[in-house]
């Protein structure tokens, strides 16, 4: 098994031995884990090899019976034949066990997250953006320029008042 993940994406590669009768059910169950990107089911016909092994075991067992019926029985040959028969029987049992299982290779991945739908702007979007920036500029101008304007108006009023007083002083003199 090999698994990786990155953010919201994940993937896994699995190689499983599953009883042949349960392969389809197992694949359906595994598909619930994610999207099956690829699968490979390996099924091999081993019946020909099993038949040949059965024939070889039967032949060796006939030879073993013939050797046991001889007087005196050759013990070394009997032991050798019994070992060969046992080895063939173990191999046949292992082959039958392997044939009972199917090798399933799966690559799974989480479903891709769809990209968010992009909103389409209307035909007046640029005008609205421009007016928004102009509004922001006006607020800054009032915030920063307002006190300066007030100070300038107060200075002008002070100068005007001073000039009027001087004029009144000049006019009130004989």
What tens digit of pLDDT does each residue of 43-76 get? 666 778 888 888 999 998 898 888 888 888 788 8
Q: Which residues of 121-147 are buried (b: 16+ CB within 10 A; e: fewer)?
A: eeeeeeeeeeeeeeeeeeeeeeeeeee
**pTM recorded for the entire structure:** 0.41
Of residues 13 and 91, which shows the higher confidence score?
91
Confidence (pLDDT) at 154: 95
DSSP 7: T
Confidence (pLDDT) at 140: 92
Confidence (pLDDT) at 155: 96
What CA–CA distance (Å, rounded) separates 140 from 136?
6
Asked if 3 and 71 count as a contact pair (C-beta separation under 8 A), the reply is no
Tokens matching residue 169: 């002083």
Confidence (pLDDT) at 35: 67
Confidence (pLDDT) at 41: 59
**If we measure between CA atoms, which residue out of 73, 72, 53 comes closest to residue 63?**
73
Q: Residue ranges per domain, the chain? A: 2-109, 123-174
73-132 pLDDT, tens digit per residue, is 788 888 898 899 999 999 988 887 777 777 777 776 776 677 777 777 888 888 999 999
Confidence (pLDDT) at 22: 80
Q: How many helices and strands, by DSSP H and E, does the chain display?
A: 4, 4
pLDDT beyond 90 at 137: yes
Confidence (pLDDT) at 74: 84
Confidence (pLDDT) at 19: 80
Q: What are phi and psi of 112, to 5 degrees?
A: -65, 140
pLDDT beyond 80 at 156: yes
Sort 103 into a burial class: Cβ within 10 Å, 0-12 / 13-18 / 19+: middle
Token pair 């032949």 in the structure block, residue = 59
Q: Which helix H or strand E contains 165, and what residues bound it? A: helix 125-172
pLDDT band of 173, cuts 50, 70, 90: confident
Cα→Cα distances 81→71, 74, 116, Å: 17, 11, 74
């Amino acid at each position: 098994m090999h698994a990786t993940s990155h953010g919201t994406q994940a993937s896994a590669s699995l190689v499983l031995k599953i009883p042949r009768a349960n392969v389809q059910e197992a694949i359906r169950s595994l598909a619930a884990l994610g999207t099956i990107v690829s699968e490979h089911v390996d099924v091999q016909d081993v019946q020909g090899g099993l038949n040949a092994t059965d024939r070889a075991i039967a032949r060796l067992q006939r030879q073993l019976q013939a050797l046991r019926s001889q007087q005196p029985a050759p013990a070394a040959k009997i032991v050798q034949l019994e070992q060969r028969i046992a080895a063939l029987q173990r191999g046949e049992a292992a082959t039958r066990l392997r044939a009972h299982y199917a090798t399933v290779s799966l690559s799974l991945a989480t479903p891709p997250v769809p990209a968010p739908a992009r909103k389409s702007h209307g035909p007046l979007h640029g005008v609205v953006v421009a007016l928004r920036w102009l509004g922001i500029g006006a607020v800054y101008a009032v915030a920063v320029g307002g006190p300066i304007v007030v100070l300038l108006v107060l200075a002008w009023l002070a100068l005007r008042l001073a000039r009027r007083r001087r004029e009144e002083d000049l006019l009130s003199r004989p």
